[in-house]
């Protein structure tokens, strides 16, 4: 850190670099690094054979599969539909638009347990949506699909809120230019608009994914929590804790932590790569 | 290809942007739409392009009604004031865009696209920037890329919306001479929107002066400059002094000057307004029979090809005069001296009813 500080100590016209960096490190340390470090330390205390046994148990493997699979699916769904919602909110005027705009944030505000219970009663085999869906042979509640539904619900605002401002800033002249050059509507969307919003979509995807991976409250109600079938990793960790197996819980948490970090880092790098040469057309 | 605009009107909410406008642009001609902001010039251009639909009236390309054609099908090249380049594409890809989005059966193959884009980049003298991104170019270069991109689809009509408006004065002057040369080379029918009278007069074959959604005058740059049809055109195309006089019988009287006006009003307001450009005024240090008025020299600016003199009459009006350097030296003018104003040319307009801005001298 001392070396970095020495290298960064260049004279700047913007004062407060030392203060800002110091505060950032302190804050980041207190809020993020120290708890995570404690987690790592606790995980390391587990005997390596036991660690390996815990993290590769069939029940754990099934939970990883469900957690990552359902989270990726939910984030993917949110990218598609969140982008459409953002588009509608930015480009069109319709009655109650302000209300719809406010509703987008509701999954943020609602206690996740409330959301979970509401979704469960809706999608249960006796619920309004669950009954017709079950009749069609698509049970939702207490299946992996139910997990995807809950994770989609809690992740929706991320994509909408990251894409919306980018679309608002997107110059309508770009679309007019494309049209005057003979591009059909879908060509304009694919070749002009999509590349512009791609970084925002990636950010929204990453945020929705991160949120979904850690989600607990809304999932446990709709998932049914059958071991090997509909058990997500956060639930498994809680179960371990309830059995006073803090070592096992920390081991699972470490795996999740590492996997999530790699995933998010990859998305960030992809995003960096896609925007590398793009600076705003300012003048 | 010729363009015909027939009785086009367009309102935005309560704002009347275009009011029954008709206009003909001949094949191969470069026409400038000139007017202040809000005069409807950009709206007219966008209606010709198909980016805006008129409330009433029709647009014809080469005699065929194109009013219902979508912008994609009109084959117009449109150049935007702020370039509207695709910033995630290289210069090459920007120019190639119009060719790449064509339906497969009319799309040129890869080699042909490369050849055409290369040729266009040579035309705009930017072939060495083909692999750069728009963000890496200067404003003038970006606008040339935008022009090459518009020309790539071999448009029948080239429409330019204040193409040099966002550039600084030197680049602007350079680019407009370059545009004129380019137009002489490729001879595509062109319509250029501008609020800069100098640009319109320098670049265009004909100038259309617009004001409040109506056409004030259409003519060659020389015609509109030397023979403005209305007070508005006179005001808009350069600095002008306004003198107050009276109609007496068939004459208009300004100071010691009498002008024959066969259709002078005999009743109602007998106030006459005479318009004189600063370079159509002469000064002398002694009064003569054709002195319009006298005043005190307030300021002299001899920097530039013409000497600018600011005079204040005894009634308090400010008069702007432009003299040649020789005349200025012969008079030996200096601030504080008395001087006598003599007009070489006074313009009167048939009606003062048209709103034409302030009555005080402009500039």
pLDDT in tens, A207-220: 899 888 888 888 88
What integer is the mean pLDDT of B152-170? 89
B318 touches chain A (CB under 8 A): no
Of the residues B47, B71, B73, the best mutation for testing chain A's interface (the one with the most A CB atoms within 10 Å of its CB) is B71
Phi/psi for A264 (5° steps) reads -65, -35
Contact B84 A174 (CB under 8 A): yes
Contact B166 A171 (CB under 8 A): no
- CATH number for the region A49-282 comes to 1.10.3720.10
Contact A184 B150 (CB under 8 A): no
Contact B101 A278 (CB under 8 A): no
In angstroms, the first-to-last Cα distance of chain A is: 38
Cα–Cα distance measured from residue A275 to residue A279, given in angstroms and rounded to the nearest whole number:
8
Contact B101 A183 (CB under 8 A): yes
**Chain B residues touching residue A187 (CB < 8 angstroms):** 101
In the 8-state DSSP scheme, what is residue A171?
Answer: -
- Number of H helices and E strands in chain B, helices first, is 9, 19
pLDDT attached to residue A10: 59
What integer is the mean pLDDT of B260-269? 74
Contact A280 B166 (CB under 8 A): no
Percent of chain B with pLDDT over 90: 60
Place of tokens 């920390």: A250
Of the residues A173, A178, A179, A182, the best mutation for testing chain B's interface (the one with the most B CB atoms within 10 Å of its CB) is A182
Contact A176 B80 (CB under 8 A): yes
**Chain B residues touching residue A184 (CB < 8 angstroms):** 72, 101
Percent of chain B with pLDDT over 70: 95
B163 touches chain A (CB under 8 A): no
B87 touches chain A (CB under 8 A): yes
**Chain B residues touching residue A278 (CB < 8 angstroms):** 87-88, 133, 135
What integer is the mean pLDDT of A17-24? 87
Q: Which of A174, A187, A278 is closest, CB to CB, to B101?
A: A187
Q: Say if residue B340's pLDDT is above 80.
A: yes
Label residue A12 by pLDDT band (50, 70, 90): low
Q: Say if residue A141's pLDDT is above 80.
A: no
pLDDT attached to residue B352: 45
pLDDT attached to residue B355: 33
What integer is the mean pLDDT of A233-240? 88
Q: Say if residue A46's pLDDT is above 70.
A: yes
pLDDT attached to residue B215: 95
Q: Say if residue B274's pLDDT is above 80.
A: yes
User: For residues B270-294, b (16+ Cβ closer than 10 Å) or e, as one string?
Assistant: eebbbbbbbbbbbbbeeeeebbbbb
What integer is the mean pLDDT of B137-159? 92
Of the residues B50, B77, B87, B191, the best mutation for testing chain A's interface (the one with the most A CB atoms within 10 Å of its CB) is B87
The model's pTM is 0.80
Q: For chains A and B, what is the number of CB pairs under 8 angstroms?
A: 83
**Average pLDDT, whole number, for chain A?**
85
Q: Residue B32: which H helix or E strand, with range?
A: strand B30-34
Of the residues B51, B92, B113, B155, the best mutation for testing chain A's interface (the one with the most A CB atoms within 10 Å of its CB) is B51
What integer is the mean pLDDT of B277-285? 90
- Range of weakest confidence among A149-163, A230-244, A257-271, B259-273: B259-273
Q: Which of A180, A196, A281 is closest, CB to CB, to B134?
A: A281
B7 touches chain A (CB under 8 A): no
Label residue A9 by pLDDT band (50, 70, 90): low
Q: Which of B51, B87, B133 is closest, CB to CB, to A176?
A: B51
Contact A181 B142 (CB under 8 A): no
**Closest-CA residue to B312 (of B351, B331, B338, B274):** B338
3-state secondary structure of A200: helix
Phi/psi for B25 (5° steps) reads -115, 125
Which residues, at least 6 apart from A21, have a Cβ–Cβ distance to it below 8 Å? A5, A8
Label residue A8 by pLDDT band (50, 70, 90): low
What integer is the mean pLDDT of A60-78? 91
Cα–Cα distance measured from residue B77 to residue B154, given in angstroms and rounded to the nearest whole number:
8
**Chain B residues touching residue A283 (CB < 8 angstroms):** 139, 166
Q: Which of A173, A281, A283 is closest, CB to CB, to B87?
A: A281
Q: What confidence tens digit (pLDDT) does each residue in B43-92 have? A: 999 999 999 999 999 999 998 999 999 999 998 999 999 999 998 899 99
- Range of weakest confidence among A23-37, B6-20, B231-245, B260-274: B260-274
Distances (CA, A) of B202 to B34, B79, B194, B198: 12, 19, 12, 6
Cα–Cα distance measured from residue A89 to residue A160, given in angstroms and rounded to the nearest whole number:
9
**Chain A residues touching residue B166 (CB < 8 angstroms):** 283
Alpha helices (H) in chain B, listed in sequence order: 41-49, 91-100, 110-123, 139-152, 169-186, 197-203, 221-226, 231-236, 325-331
Contact B80 A173 (CB under 8 A): yes
CB B215 within 8 A of CB B24: no
Q: Say if residue B356's pLDDT is above 50.
A: no
Quick one: closest CA in A to B138, which residue?
A: A283
């Amino acid at each position: 850190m001392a070396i970095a500080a020495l290298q960064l100590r260049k004279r700047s016209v913007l004062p407060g670099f030392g203060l800002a960096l110091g505060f950032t490190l302190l804050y980041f340390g207190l809020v993020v690094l120290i708890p995570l470090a404690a987690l790592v330390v606790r995980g390391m205390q587990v005997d390596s054979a036991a660690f390996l046994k815990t993290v590769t148990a069939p029940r754990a493997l099934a939970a990883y599969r469900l957690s990552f699979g359902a989270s990726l699916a939910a984030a993917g769904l949110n990218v598609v539909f969140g982008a459409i919602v953002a588009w509608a909110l930015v480009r069109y005027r319709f009655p109650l638009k302000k209300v719809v705009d406010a509703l987008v944030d509701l999954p943020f505000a609602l206690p996740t347990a409330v959301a979970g219970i509401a979704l469960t009663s809706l999608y249960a085999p006796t619920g309004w949506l669950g009954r017709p869906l079950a009749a069609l042979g698509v049970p939702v509640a207490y299946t992996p699909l139910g997990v995807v539904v809950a994770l989609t619900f809690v992740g929706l605002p991320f994509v909408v809120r990251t894409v919306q401002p980018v679309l608002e800033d997107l110059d309508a002249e770009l679309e007019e230019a494309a049209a005057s050059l003979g591009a059909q509507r879908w060509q304009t969307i694919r070749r002009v608009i999509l590349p512009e919003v791609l970084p925002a979509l990636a950010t929204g995807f990453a945020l929705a994914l991160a949120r979904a991976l850690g989600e607990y409250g809304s999932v446990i109600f709709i998932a049914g929590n059958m071991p090997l079938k509909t058990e997500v990793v956060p639930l498994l960790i809680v179960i371990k804790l309830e059995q006073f197996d803090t070592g096992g819980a920390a081991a699972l948490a470490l795996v999740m932590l590492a996997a999530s970090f790699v995933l998010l880092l990859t998305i960030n790098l992809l995003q960096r790569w896609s925007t590398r040469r793009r600076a705003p057309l300012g003048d | 290809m010729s363009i015909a605009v027939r009785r086009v009107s367009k309102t935005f909410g309560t704002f009347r942007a275009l009011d029954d406008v008709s206009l003909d642009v001949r094949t191969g001609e470069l026409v400038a739409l000139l007017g202040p902001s809000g005069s409807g010039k950009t709206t007219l251009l966008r209606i010709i392009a198909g980016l805006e639909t008129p409330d009433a009236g029709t647009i014809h390309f080469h005699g065929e009604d194109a009013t219902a054609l979508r912008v994609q099908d009109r084959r117009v090249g449109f150049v935007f004031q702020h370039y509207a380049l695709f910033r995630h594409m290289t210069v090459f890809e920007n120019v190639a865009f119009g060719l790449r989005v064509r339906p497969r059966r009319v799309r040129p193959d890869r080699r042909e696209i490369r050849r055409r884009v290369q040729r266009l980049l040579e035309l705009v003298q930017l072939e060495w920037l083909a692999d750069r991104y728009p963000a890496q170019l200067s404003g003038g270069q970006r606008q040339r890329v935008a022009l090459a991109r518009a020309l790539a689809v071999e448009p029948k009509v080239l429409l330019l919306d204040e193409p040099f408006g966002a550039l600084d004065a030197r680049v602007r002057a350079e680019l407009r001479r370059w545009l004129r040369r380019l137009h002489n080379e490729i001879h595509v029918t062109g319509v250029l929107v501008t609020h800069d009278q100098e640009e319109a007069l320098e670049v265009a074959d004909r100038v259309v002066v617009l004001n409040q959604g109506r056409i004030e005058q259409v003519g060659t740059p020389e015609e509109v400059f030397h023979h403005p049809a209305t007070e508005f055109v006179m005001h808009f195309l350069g600095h002008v002094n306004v003198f107050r006089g009276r109609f007496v019988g068939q004459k208009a009287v300004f100071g010691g000057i009498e002008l024959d006006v066969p259709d002078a009003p005999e009743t109602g307001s007998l106030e006459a307004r005479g318009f004189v450009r600063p370079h159509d005024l002469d000064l002398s240090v002694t009064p003569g029979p054709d002195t319009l008025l006298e005043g005190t020299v307030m300021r002299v600016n001899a920097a530039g090809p013409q000497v600018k003199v600011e005079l204040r009459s005894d009634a308090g009006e400010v008069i702007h005069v432009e003299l040649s350097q020789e005349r200025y030296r012969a008079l030996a003018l200096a601030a504080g001296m008395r001087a006598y104003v003599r007009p070489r040319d006074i313009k009167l307009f048939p009606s003062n009813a048209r709103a034409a801005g302030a009555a005080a001298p402009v500039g």
